Structure 1
Amino acid sequence: MTRQMEGMIGLITAQTLLGTIGLCVLESGADPVTVAFYRCAIGGLALALYCQYRGDLMRLVRLSPRILAMAVASGMLMAGNWVLFFEGIQRTGIAVATITFHIQPFLVVLLGAFVFREKLRAVTMLWIGVALAGLALATGLSGMELAGDRSYLIGLASTLAAAFLYSGVTIIAKGLTGISAPQLATVQFATGTVMLAAFNPASPLTLTADQWGWLAVIGLVHTGGVYVVLYKALPKLTTPVIAVLLFLYPASAVLVDAVAYGHLISFLQLAGLGLIILASLAVTLRWGVRTVASTDGPQLVPPSSSR
C-alpha cells in the first residue's frame, strides 16, 4: 500500500467517524458542558498516553512561558467551542449544526487578514460571499424563513460562535512553533478539563452506565483516536486531497442525522452545503489566483478534528 493510500484511508476513516459525534452527544442525554468536560478529560488522558508513548510528554515542562500561555489560551477557546457546538447540535440537529460550523474556515481567512495583515484579494471575498449565501440556504433561514423559532435561532448563534472560537484556535496554532500537535492538544484538553470543571459538569457518580458509554466513545474514539489517526494521515497527503476529503465529515453527519433521527435536509439546504464546499475548495486551492502570487494572501487552514 502506498504512503498516499494509507493517508487517504486514515483521513476517510477519521472524517467519517467525526460525522457520528452528534449522535453520541444526543444519545448521551448530557448537557453541553458535561459532554465537553468529559471529552476533554477522557480525550486528554488518551492523548497524554500517546505523547508518553512518543516520548513527548515530559518535554511539555520545557516549553517557554509564551508558548505555554498561547497553548492554554487556545485550550480555553477549544473548550468554549465544544460547549457551543454541542449546544447547537441539541437545538438545531446534527446536520444543520455541522453544516453551519463549516463556515469556520472563512472566519480564519478574515481573522488571518486582521492578525497577520494578510491581503484579502477580490476573488477571495467573492468566494466568501458564495459561502455566506450557502450558509443562508443551509440553515433553512433564507428569505421569508427568517422567523425561525427562538431555540433554533439560539442554536444557530451558538454554532456560529463556536466556529468563531475555533477560528481563534486555528490562528493561535498558526503562530505557534516549538510544540508538536499532540503536545498542543494535550495542553488544550488539560486546560479545558480544569476550565469546564468550574461550570459544574455532571458528577461521575450521577452518570448512568449508558451515559458513561457514550461519553467514553466521544473521548476515546472521536477525540483521542481520531486525533492520532489524523496526525499520521495528514502528512502523507497533498493539500488538494485533504481539502476534498475533509468534507466527508459534514456529509457523514447529514447521513447520520437522516438515518438515526429521520431529519432529512431540504434541496435548498443541500445546495447551501454544496456552495460552502465549493467556496472552501476554491479558497483552499486558490482558484482564480495567479500562481506567481501564491506565496501571499490568505489560505485556509484545514479544519482539524476539533468537532
Structure 2
Amino acid sequence: MRTLSPSFSAPGADRAGLWQMAAAMSISGTIGLFVIESGQSPWNVVWLRCVFGALGLALYGWRAGLLRQTGFTRRTLLLALAAGAALVLNWVLLFSAYRHASISLATAVYNVQPFLLIGLGALVLGERPGLARVAWSVLAFAGLLLVLPWHGDPVARHELLLGLGLGLGAALLYSFTALIVKQLRAIRPQVLALVQVTLGAVLLLPMVDFGALPAAPGPWGWLVALGLVHTTLMYILMYSAIQKLPTTSVAALSFIYPAVAILVDFAAFGQRLDAQQWLGVAAIFVAVAGVSLAPARRLVPSAPTAAPQRPAA
C-alpha cells in the first residue's frame, strides 16, 4: 500500500521516479492486449504470468541481495500467502472480464477498487471514511451505473454485464489484497510480490490446460512478456518509483494505466465507448482522483508495500 507522506528525495531522484512510474503504468495499460493476443484461457495466462514473473523476480531478488533476510515470521508469511491468493484470482477475473466486456470498460470498473477498499476498511477495521470520501464513493457508484448496459440486444447486454461483474469481482479481490498488505509494511515489496506469484504458480497448476498451450512460437512471445515485462519489470519500476515520489505524484501518474488501456483497446480492437459510457468512465476517474489526491495527514514517511492503493493489472 502507498501511504500519504512527504517526499524527501532529491530532484534527480524525483525525475527518475516520474519516468519509472510513467513507464510502469504505461506497461500496465497494455496488459489487456497481451492477454487477448496470447489466445490462452485466463487460467493459462495467469499461471504462465506467475511462472515467468516468479523466475524474473527471483533472479532480481537474488542479484539485489533481497532474499538473504526476508523478514517473514509465520504470521506475516501466512498473511502474504492469503494476499497472494486474492491477487492471482483477481488477475483471473480481470483477464476473463476483458473477453466478455472490453479492455476499456473492464479497466474502468476495475478502478473502483479504492472505494471497495474504503468500504472494507469501515467494515473490517472500523475506519471512518469521512464525508468527502463518502461523496466521492457516491460519484463513483453513479459512474458505474452509467457504464452498465441498460438497452440493446439482450445477449450482448448479458455478455457485457458478465464482463463488468467479473471486473468488479477482480476489484474486490484486489481490495482484500490491499487490506492484508497493510499489515506487511516490514516486508520488502519485491520479496512480497515474489511470494505472491510463486504461490500463484502452485495454486493455479490444477487449472492449467496443458493441451491448449501454444505450439507456435508467436503466442509464447505475448506470454513471456506478461511475466517478464508486465510483472517483473513493471513491479521493479513501480516500487522503485514509489520510494522516490510523494504519494500525490504516484496517484496522479497512476491514471496513465486506464488511459493507455482505453487507447490500446481503440487502436488494436476498434473499441469505441458511447457518450453515456464515456460519462460513466469520467465520473469514476474523477471520483478516484478525488480520493487518491486528497491531502495527507501522515507526517512520517514510510516504506511502500506490495499493493498500491490504486490497482495496476
Give 2:182's aligned amino acid: K
1:5-24: per-residue Cα shift (whole Å, max 9, x none)? 11111111111111111011
State the number of aligned residues: 295
Give 1:237's aligned amino acid: L
What secondary structure does 1:57 align onto?
A: coil
Partner of 1:3: 13
**Aligned counterpart for 1:122 among listed residues 131, 152, 158:** 131
Answer yes or no: is 1:84 the counterpart of 2:116. no
1:174-207: per-residue Cα shift (whole Å, max 9, x none)? 1113311011000000110100002134359654
Give the direction of change, closer, same or farther, for the CA distance of 1:192–1:207 in structure 2 (3 Å limit).
Answer: farther
Give the direction of change, closer, same or farther, for the CA distance of 1:254–1:201 in structure 2 (3 Å limit).
Answer: same
CA–CA separation in structure 2 for the residues paired with 1:187 and 1:207: 30
Shift of 1:36: 0.3
Partner of 2:119: 110
State how 1:92-171 maps to structure 2 within 5 Å.
92-137=101-146, 139-141=147-149, 143-144=150-151, 149-171=157-179
What secondary structure does 2:52 align onto?
A: helix
Give the direction of change, closer, same or farther, for the CA distance of 1:169–1:201 in structure 2 (3 Å limit).
Answer: farther
Contact persistence 2:17–2:242 (CA under 8 A): yes
Contact persistence 1:127–1:282 (CA under 8 A): yes
Partner of 1:303: 310
Answer yes or no: is 1:39 the counterpart of 2:59. no
Give the direction of change, closer, same or farther, for the CA distance of 1:78–1:301 in structure 2 (3 Å limit).
Answer: closer
1:26-85: per-residue Cα shift (whole Å, max 9, x none)? 11100000000000110111111111112122434x621101111111111111001100
Unaligned runs of 5+ in 2: 1-10, 299-306
Partner of 1:191: 199
Give the direction of change, closer, same or farther, for the CA distance of 1:71–1:225 in structure 2 (3 Å limit).
Answer: same
TM-score by length of 2: 0.88
Partner of 2:303: none
**Which stretch shifts more, 206-215 or 126-135?**
206-215
Contact persistence 1:23–1:256 (CA under 8 A): yes
Give the direction of change, closer, same or farther, for the CA distance of 1:207–1:154 in structure 2 (3 Å limit).
Answer: farther
Shift of 1:151: 2.2
Shift of 1:144: 4.6
Q: CA RMSD in A?
A: 2.2
Partner of 1:29: 39
Answer yes or no: is 1:18 the counterpart of 2:25. no
Answer yes or no: is 1:173 the counterpart of 2:173. no
**Aligned counterpart for 2:81 among listed residues 69, 72, 84:** 72
Partner of 2:304: none
**Aligned counterpart for 2:271 among listed residues 263, 276, 281:** 263
Aligned-residue identity in percent:
36
Partner of 1:248: 256
Shift of 1:284: 2.3
Partner of 1:226: 234
Unaligned runs of 5+ in 1: none
Partner of 2:3: none
